[in-house]
Amino acid sequence: MDDIARGVEWIGVAIIVVALVLSGARAVIALRRGVAGAEVYSGVRAYFGRGILLGLEALVAADLIRTVAVQPTLENVLVLALIVLVRTLLSFSLDVEIEGVLPWRKRARRKEGSSVEPT
């Protein structure tokens, strides 16, 4: 199971690296097409941010596999809880940064169009 957890970690890292490369490629293509720099920045930032979020989810899964299947001691479970808490807070803040609105306000924003101010 330790090898499986390590494999899932590599997948998470690969997702982040691929998102970085694709974000860079998208930026170059958009800039060559004459898209404004601010628009390119916000698009690339959102694309790469989503890649980071997906990679973080894979890394959390690897931590879960390692803790539950390989070394299920109380100390390891507590460390896992702390890691998951930190990564969850990081994911939450990245999601808010990418979307520009708190998750519980997304539905109201969709109903009203884009007129709701992001918080």
Task: Read off the pLDDT of residues 37-82 as tens digits, 9 standing for 90 and up.
Answer: 889 998 898 899 899 989 988 988 888 888 877 777 888 888 888 8
Chain centre to alpha carbon of residue 28: 22
Length of the chain counted residue by residue: 119
pLDDT band at 109 (very low <50, low <70, confident <90, very high): low
Asked if residue 17 has pLDDT above 90, the reply is yes
Q: Who's near 24: CB < 8 A, 6+ residues apart?
A: 44
pTM: 0.71
Reduced to 3 states (helix: H, G, I; strand: E, B; else coil), residue 35 is coil
**35, HSE (Cβ side, Cα atoms, 13 Å):** 15
* Of 13 and 64, more confident: 13
Q: What is the predicted pLDDT for the residue at 116?
A: 47
Q: What is the predicted pLDDT for the residue at 110?
A: 66
Q: Which two tokens stand for residue 87?
A: 């990564």
Asked if residue 83 has pLDDT above 50, the reply is yes
Using the structure block, give the residue that is written with the tokens 């998951």: 84
